[in-house]
Amino acid sequence: MASYRNPPALVFFLFILFATVSHAQLSPSFYATTCSSAADIVQSAVRSAINRDKGTGARLIRLFFHDCFVVGCDAGVLLDANLPSIDSEKNSISNENSLGGFDLIDKIKTALDKACPGPVVSCSDIIAIAARDSVVELGGTRWEVPLGRRDARTANRNEADNLPSPFSDLQVLIKNFTDKGFTAKEMVVLSGAHSVGVARCSLFRDHLYNGTNVEVTAANERKSKCPSTGGDDNLSNLDHQSPNRFGNNYYQALIKRRGLMHSDQELFNGGSTDDFVKTYSQDSQAFFADFGNAMIKLGNLNTLTGNKGEIRTNCRKIN
């Protein structure tokens, strides 16, 4: 073959091949002709839900993480255990009695399928747009969401059981993210999502009472609702001072040793990620820019495109 003796042609051929195969074909304009109102429909639903209950925003952001980190961004997380073949991720250690936003996703899906029958818009894309809109509504940054994901026909409860743990040390957290193709810095920037939302007492109690890197004032306030025994499901804000503002307040709190969970404070505990925390605590623009890029990268994890998967009619069950 001539091209083997012709390096530029070979390189060009490989480039085209690589660009076609690797770039999962997601595109921000995926629904431009098939459902041009999709983004507006999601945005207005997310906005009014957050106006009613600010906690909705945090739930949607976390839903995106838990969808993408388990197998991939394929809405596997939304499947109920309504078939023997579905071991619902909703029942996993990390998600049970914890993950939310499902009703709102259903509501958005119904509205989208009414506006654009088919169905046209996938449940996995709804999660991705809703997470971005939540960040915007809570005062964070905006990024263009690549679209065109399709929905899985399976769930993976085992993998959901292995989502990063709040009891892990820094090295484990870094490994959890590098295993998925993220740098330690991207792990730190994605963790900035903990500037909003809540966690249960049972998940931060040990850090609160036994942690070595814990600021006393914030800890004492938190202890009043999270005693050394009892109140396991009592919630505390991940960010002590501005729990519903998406921003670099998370990093400023870590520097003050006010991280709620062990995994939070590990990011600033004398280890290799301290400098990233310092940078983001001082530079909101750097945080926002890097966060948007990392969310796009998170949204590219193992997506189903082309004729793989399906566009679900009901986000809770396969077609």
Ligand X SMILES: *[C@@H]1O[C@H](CO)[C@@H](O)[C@H](O)[C@H]1NC(C)=O
Q: Which of 31, 65, 250, 251 binds ligand HEM (CB under 6 A)?
A: 65
Site for ligand X in 193-222 (CB under 6 A): 205-206, 209-210
Determine if 225 is a binding residue for ligand X (CB under 6 A): yes
Determine if 271 is a binding residue for ligand X (CB under 6 A): no
Q: Is 194 annotated among the ligand-binding residues?
A: yes
> What's the sign of the alpha-carbon dihedral 156, 162, 164, 167?
positive
x-or-dash pattern for ligand HEM, window 136-175, by CB under 6 A? ----------------------------xxx------x--
Q: Is 53 annotated among the ligand-binding residues?
A: no
Identify whether the C-beta of residue 204 lies closer than 8 Å to the C-beta of residue 226. Answer: yes
Burial degree of 224 (CB within 10 A; 0-12, 13-18, 19+): exposed
Determine if 299 is a binding residue for ligand HEM (CB under 6 A): no
207 is catalytic: no
Site for ligand HEM in 186-225 (CB under 6 A): 187, 190-191, 193-194, 196-200, 203
- Which residue reads 């899985």 in tokens? 152
The residue at minimum Cβ distance from ligand X is: 231
Angle at 57 between CA 157 and CA 276, to 5 degrees: 85
Question: Min. distance of Cβ 287 from ligand HEM in angstroms?
Answer: 13
The answer for residues whose C-beta is within 8 angstroms of residue 104's C-beta and 6 or more apart is 45, 46, 49, 56, 60, 130
Q: Is 40 annotated among the ligand-binding residues?
A: no
Question: Min. distance of Cβ 138 from ligand HEM in angstroms?
Answer: 10
Question: Min. distance of Cβ 267 from ligand HEM in angstroms?
Answer: 8
Q: Which of 44, 154, 162, 244 binds ligand X (CB under 6 A)?
A: 162
Alpha carbon separation from 178 to 28, 76, 107, 171 (Å, rounded): 26, 22, 35, 10
The stretch among 72-80, 145-153, 185-193, 279-287 that binds ligand HEM (CB under 6 A) is 185-193
Q: What are phi and psi of 150, to 5 degrees?
A: -115, 165
Catalytic-labelled residue, pool 66, 207, 240, 262: 66
The stretch among 17-25, 34-42, 172-180, 189-197 that binds ligand X (CB under 6 A) is 172-180
What distance in Å separates the CA atoms of residue 26 and residue 119, rounded to the nearest whole number?
A: 18
Best CA proximity match to 197, nearest among 47, 59, 22, 38: 59
Which amino acid is it at 281? S
DSSP-assigned letters across all residues of 1-31: -GGGG-HHHHHHHHHHHHHHHHSTT-BTTTT
Closer residue to ligand X, CB minimum distance, 121 or 193: 193
Q: Is 74 annotated among the ligand-binding residues?
A: yes
Binding residues: 67, 70, 72, 74, 89, 164, 194, 239
Q: Binding residues for ligand HEM, per CB under 6 A?
A: 55, 58-59, 61-62, 65, 98, 100, 164-166, 173, 187, 190-191, 193-194, 196-200, 203, 238, 261, 263
Residues with active-site annotation: 66
Q: Binding residues for ligand X, per CB under 6 A?
A: 162-164, 172, 175-176, 179, 205-206, 209-210, 225, 227-228, 230-231, 234
